[in-house]
A and B are shown apart, each in its own frame.
Chain A
Amino acid sequence: QKEVEQNSGPLSVPEGAIASLNCTYSDRGSQSFFWYRQYSGKSPELIMSIYSNGDKEDGRFTAQLNKASQYVSLLIRDSQPSDSATYLCAVNFGQTGANNLFFGTGTRLTVIP
């Protein structure tokens, strides 16, 4: 069973705080992990991709991957009201030729001004 689990939230943080979003996945052989942001009524947009254990930083965003524990997280520093959205974790299961991603149900983040 291929599963990607996220806490649906909502997660509320004050403006300027750090938002922490977590994701676990079922397949130990997964190699590729992505975070997408989706505003209400819009399509997902890519924020980060991560392939190796450890941290990857891009501006205010940091993705953290721990393959042994099968979790990936996203930290948003200095959260802004414009960060209010649903954040989707996506995982590619196994090293197949196909590039299909499996998505979690998303965590809804609200940043309070």
Chain B
Amino acid sequence: DGGITQSPKYLFRKEGQNVTLSCEQNLNHDAMYWYRQDPGQGLRLIYYSQIVNDFQKGDIAEGYSVSREKKESFPLTVTSAQKNPTAFYLCASSIRRTTLGHNSPLHFGNGTRLTVT
């Protein structure tokens, strides 16, 4: 079955440690995204990548880093510089445009819940 796999589902870290969240997709989608969700807030874009070896900052990129060495994979590193890292992290992918030229919807993985103490 095609889909987006995020691992692990739950992650616990001590303050000051870097941590990497995994995201793998087998949908053959060109574009991949990382969003963060906090209680009572909408999803906020951290980074996105439209093609291998290229990525752009979203609205809240500070304290995060990404890589896109393979089409299938878009790992997110939460660094010690991120002030409030505890959150629900969602990875998504999409085709770049629909056959009619519209923006295509995002398809989400199951998320990783990160707790930093």
Contact = CB atoms under 8 A, between A and B. Distances in A.
A99 B94 contact: yes
A99 B42 contact: no
A32 B103 contact: yes
A44 B90 contact: yes
Q: Is the interface of A mostly helix, strand, loop or mixed?
A: loop
A101 interface: yes
Interface residues on A, range: 20 to 34
Interface of A: 4, 8, 31-32, 34, 42-46, 49, 51, 88, 90, 92, 97-106
23 contacts: A31-B103, A32-B102, A34-B105, A34-B106, A42-B110, A42-B111, A43-B108, A43-B110, A45-B108, A49-B105, A51-B100, A97-B96, A99-B50, A99-B96, A99-B97, A99-B106, A100-B33, A100-B48, A101-B43, A103-B42, A103-B43, A103-B44, A105-B42
